[in-house]
Amino acid sequence: MKDSSNRAHKSVRRVRTDLPSHWVGDGFPVLSVFSPRTGSKALSPFVLFDYAAPHRFEPSKTPRGVGAHPHRGFETVTVVYAGELEHRDSAGNGGRIGPGDVQWMTAARGLFHEEMHSERFTREGGTMEMAQLWVNLPARAKSDPPAYQDILAARIPRVELEGGHLRLIAGTYRSAAGAETTGPARTATPVILWDGHLEAGARAQLPIPDGYSAALFVRRGKASVAGGAKTIGAGELVEFTPEGTAAQVEALEAIDFLVLGGEPIDEPIVAYGPFVMNTEAEIDQAIVDAQSGRM
Ligand code: MN
C-alpha cells in the first residue's frame, strides 16, 4: 500500500497488551513493555522498555528511587513526563530532569549510578510519569568510557504534523517534501526516539527507513495503526515489520505516544540483570568487575 508521498506502509508484526508490572526500587511502578525476558530481539537496538504511568506520591522525608547499581554494555535513556528526577553516577556525571527532559546515559564499559526522585519532588510530592529505555551498544562501543547527555526539553526539535506534533529526541525525521530534522541525541548506531501527540481524528505517516525496527507505544488515548489493521490503547505497544518506509497511525481519541526504532545491531545478546553483553564470558567478567570495584 502506498500513500501520496509514495511511502510503503509497514505492517503490524505484533501488539503487546496486558503488560506485566513491577516496582523498580521504591520510586517507579512500571509496566514492563518489553525486556530480554519477554523478547526484544525484533526491537534492536532497543533492549528494554519500562513505562511508569502517572502515579501520585505523597510528600516524604526520604527520597524514593533506586540506589547505587551498576550497568555495562548499553545506554539508559530516561524520558520524564511528570515529576522530577535526580541522577548521580560514578563517572562524576549527574543532573536533574523534569517534564519534557531526557537523560541519555551511556554506561558502555561500566559505571554505578543512582536514580532518585529529586529533593524537591520528594519534599512536595506530586505525580510521576516517566519512561526508561535501554539501547544496546555494538561490540565495538561496549568498552568505551561512560558518557552522559542531558537533553533538556528546550533542545528537542518539534516537527508539526497535521493535528499534532513530534518531538525528536533521536534520529532524523524526513518530511514528505524531503525536509530533514534531527534530534540532538548522539548515538552509536542509528536510533529513532520520537515523542508524539495527535488530536482525535488526526492521521500521520511516520517515516521510518526500510529495514529499521519500528514500534509505537501509546501513553494515553486510542489509535488505529497500519491502515486500520489493529487498534491499540493506553499502555500497549505495536511492533511494525521492518519492511516499508512509513508507519501509519490514526488517532481514534487524542493520543500521546512514543515512537522507537533503529538499525538493528546484528550481534548476539547475552543480558543478565543490569548488563547487556555479547557473550556469557563477558557477563561473568562484568559481575566480577562490579563486585571488585572495577566499574
Ligand atoms: Mn539504572
Find the 113 Cα to ligand 1 centroid distance in Å: 6
What was the pLDDT predicted at 5? 56
Find the 112 Cα to ligand 1 centroid distance in Å: 8
Find the 115 Cα to ligand 1 centroid distance in Å: 7
Which residues pair with residue 257 across a beta bridge? 196, 218
Find the 216 Cα to ligand 1 centroid distance in Å: 23
- Reply yes or no on whether the pLDDT at 35 is more than 90: yes
Find the 218 Cα to ligand 1 centroid distance in Å: 23
Angle in degrees, CA 36, 37, 42, rounded to 5:
45
For residue range 243-277, what is the model confidence (pLDDT) as tens digits? 999 999 999 999 999 999 999 999 999 999 999 99
What was the pLDDT predicted at 7? 80
Find the 66 Cα to ligand 1 centroid distance in Å: 8
Q: What is the DSSP letter of 176?
A: T
- Reply yes or no on whether the pLDDT at 212 is more than 50: yes
- For residues 72 and 112, what is the distance between their CA atoms, to the nearest angstrom? 9
Which triple of cell numbers denotes residue 287?
Answer: 559481575
For residue range 135-186, what is the model confidence (pLDDT) as tens digits? 999 999 999 999 999 999 999 999 999 999 999 999 999 998 999 999 999 9
Find the 29 Cα to ligand 1 centroid distance in Å: 14
- For residues 255 and 149, what is the distance between their CA atoms, to the nearest angstrom? 28
Contact 96, 118 (CB under 8 A): yes
Find the 48 Cα to ligand 1 centroid distance in Å: 12
What was the pLDDT predicted at 103? 97
Find the 268 Cα to ligand 1 centroid distance in Å: 22
Find the 61 Cα to ligand 1 centroid distance in Å: 23
**CA separation (Å) from 59 to 62, 117, 269?**
9, 11, 41
- For residues 18 and 205, what is the distance between their CA atoms, to the nearest angstrom? 26
Find the 93 Cα to ligand 1 centroid distance in Å: 14
3-state SS record for 261-276: EECCCCCCCEEECCEE
pTM: predicted TM-score of the whole model, two decimal places = 0.96
For residue range 92-117, what is the model confidence (pLDDT) as tens digits? 998 999 999 999 999 999 999 999 99
